[in-house]
Structure 1
Amino acid sequence: MSGAQQSELIIRLQDRTHDCLKKFVKPDEPIAILDFPDIKNCGDSAIWLGEMAYLQHRYAKRPSYVCTTDDFSPEELKSVAPNGPIFIHGGGNFGDVWVFHQDFRERVMELFPDRQIVQFPQSIHYKSPERLEQSRRAIGKHKNFVLLVRDEESFQFAQENFDCETYLCPDMAFCIGTVQPDAPQFPVLAMLRQDKEQVGAVDFSAYPDIPKEDWITEDPSKVRVAKALGAASALLQLNPSEVRLRKLDAAANNRFRRGIRQISRGKAIVTDRLHVHICSLLIGRRHAVLDNNYGKIRRFMNAFSGGTDLSYKATSLDDGIRWAREQAAVAA
């Protein structure tokens, strides 16, 4: 895949994203974005930075109010963003796999029944019919909830189960644009999940020459320093919302850059993480893709990102490593 083809894919997905979002962003209205991902997963930070980049590049706007689930203040939101849409951070937590986030968004619907609430692109997965029914009632009661989803299966599920506007939209991380990678250090890197979305235990003993990692380990002191520097850059404005935004943006940038440095080390990559796939496209690095435990990655690739020679849908770990080794040899 040439650099021109890479840029063409990213621009096409950015334009598709704008087509979905442009009716909900007004130049003269404030914007609130809730549920900042203050977690170690670099992929969630990539989504956040894409959300910020979209608002900046298309509208020269910054959100008037941002929060994590821990410091959410309905009163402050009403004060600094008394009108305009309330956006909720995108990702893969719509449903009952990561139920805390679902509880949070349904609480927001209850607290703001008269405000439009727009969910940035999500993947949907429910295991419990009872939890699905709770979400169905919350959305139906609100009447002004807008749901963006990032695969056809989630779109069909939402159409069948929820009474709300629903749009098929790419992941917001593509709004970051192309990213310059670091130089590779070894032929193949395996970036495999170590959380509840992994398919199962992986026997990696046959590949002692291949580093096996995840990107949910970080140095907390570096994130604290980044947050402090980000907050300090806004102190002269005496604006608590701007101080918080710069603090959170700095943390997201720190985590995203850590992730880019990490995956850049492989000439070719094997992964079962959606945002290792997306970030590999952003840096132009070849990668073999396995899936998570409910098909999230293949569903996304089928909808938006699977048609390039940078990525390969592996049928197994052995197949993915075979392909990655071949690609690394070609790139040598």
Structure 2
Amino acid sequence: MTASDHLTAQRTILATVYRTHVAPGSRYALVDFPDHANVGDSAIWLGELALLRQITGRDPCYVSTWHDFEIDAFRDACPDGILFLHGGGNLGDIWPHHQRFREHILATIRDRTVVQLPQSVHFRVLAQVDRFATLVADHPDFVLYVRDTRSLDFARKHLSCPSHLAPDSAYALGERSAGPPQCDLLMLMRTDDERQGYAMPSTTQAIVADWLEDDPDLPVGVDAIAREAQAVARVDRGLRLLAQGRVVVTDRLHGHILSDLLGIPHVVLDNEYGKIAKYLDAWSFPKEIVTKAATMEEALSLADGLLATR
């Protein structure tokens, strides 16, 4: 499979998934906008928006974050149509605000289909599953999409709802172009609650960064237009960062996905609960683009090998 074939396959599967729920002219809401600097969530949001617009020919009739959702405003703006929950990696107990919002939606929006767009599922404490499982079982029409087979197995074991495998929605952004690299090795390494805590060798000459800080000129505003502009600015920042390297090492899933879209060879380490390896195991990827490593030493050795061929 070539790199181009692989990217086309991911987009094709995503389009089929979305067309299961919407058609030309369909009304829909898209909620849980990622109101934070993490580039990956904005990439997912823009991919979701691109697919929904492409299929329906229209913008969402209602958009909100987890903290400013208003049920009356939602019903006024979107009296019918599916409610889509933004995908990502927050179904579980690591990022509780988003999980509580998802549970609130299931408890209060019961007169229409609610679709959870592709997610990774992880609960550190299994006892936390019961509340969510009860809400899922009680909801008349909830559909769950997950990004890897471990999440799918978990959902089919614990949750009484249709559960399906689908790629990450950021692949709907399509291939991107990168300018001339500025360094041999760019290392995008997590500094948040999902980090594994890899020790950085003191000898590395790589640029080491994370992408959790917004640019000072980020567009402001809380309407749908401003939020889309914020997501675009965040993704552009992430693409510029990754494009600095001839080769990338990362423990972020969207460090991998955006490097994939940019065509930059990269080595992936894993996050705290194995999210990246499970995603790679679920889908076919060209080996000349992405390689898995278990340790920092292995990652740097593989990166050196990639640099020697470029």
TM-score (norm 1): 0.90
Residue 326 of structure 1 and its aligned partner are, at CA, apart by: 2.3
Secondary structure of the structure 2 residue equivalent to 1:262 = helix
Q: For 1:75, give the aligned amino acid.
A: D
In structure 2, how many angstroms separate the alpha carbons of the residues matched to 1:157 and 1:133?
13
Of 65, 69, 72 in structure 2, the residue corresponding to residue 72 of structure 1 is 69
Q: For 2:36, give the aligned amino acid.
A: I
Aligned match of 2:213: 217
In structure 2, how many angstroms separate the alpha carbons of the residues matched to 1:306 and 1:9?
6
In structure 2, how many angstroms separate the alpha carbons of the residues matched to 1:133 and 1:97?
16
- Match runs of 1:1-332 below 5 Å: 5-207=2-204, 209-219=205-215, 221-223=216-218, 226-227=219-220, 244-331=223-310
Aligned match of 1:236: none
In structure 1, how many angstroms separate the alpha carbons of the residues matched to 2:201 and 2:108?
48
Residue identity (%): 36
Secondary structure of the structure 1 residue equivalent to 2:150 = helix
In structure 1, how many angstroms separate the alpha carbons of the residues matched to 2:267 and 2:21?
36
Aligned residues: 310
Q: Deviations over 1:208-256 (max 9, x none)?
A: x11111111223x311xx235xxxxxxxxxxxxxx82111110000000
Q: Deviations over 1:90-143 (max 9, x none)?
A: 000001111111110110111111221000100000122221001100101113
In structure 2, how many angstroms separate the alpha carbons of the residues matched to 1:326 and 1:307?
16
Contact 1:187 1:329 in 2 (8 A): no
Residue 322 of structure 1 and its aligned partner are, at CA, apart by: 1.5
Secondary structure of the structure 2 residue equivalent to 1:212 = strand
In structure 2, how many angstroms separate the alpha carbons of the residues matched to 1:287 and 1:111?
43
Secondary structure of the structure 2 residue equivalent to 1:269 = strand
In structure 2, how many angstroms separate the alpha carbons of the residues matched to 1:70 and 1:132?
22
Secondary structure of the structure 1 residue equivalent to 2:30 = strand
Secondary structure of the structure 1 residue equivalent to 2:185 = strand
In structure 2, how many angstroms separate the alpha carbons of the residues matched to 1:246 and 1:7?
31
Q: Deviations over 1:187-228 (max 9, x none)?
A: 011111001111125233232x11111111223x311xx235
Secondary structure of the structure 1 residue equivalent to 2:151 = helix
Residue 305 of structure 1 and its aligned partner are, at CA, apart by: 4.5
Q: CA RMSD in A?
A: 1.5
In structure 1, how many angstroms separate the alpha carbons of the residues matched to 2:5 and 2:78?
36
Contact 1:143 1:164 in 2 (8 A): no
In structure 2, how many angstroms separate the alpha carbons of the residues matched to 1:131 and 1:27?
39
In structure 1, how many angstroms separate the alpha carbons of the residues matched to 2:134 and 2:286?
38
Secondary structure of the structure 1 residue equivalent to 2:167 = coil
Secondary structure of the structure 2 residue equivalent to 1:18 = helix
Q: Deviations over 1:303-327 (max 9, x none)?
A: 1243432001112111111111222
In structure 2, how many angstroms separate the alpha carbons of the residues matched to 1:203 and 1:301?
24
In structure 2, how many angstroms separate the alpha carbons of the residues matched to 1:309 and 1:329?
13
> Which range moves more in the overlay, 260-269 or 308-317?
308-317
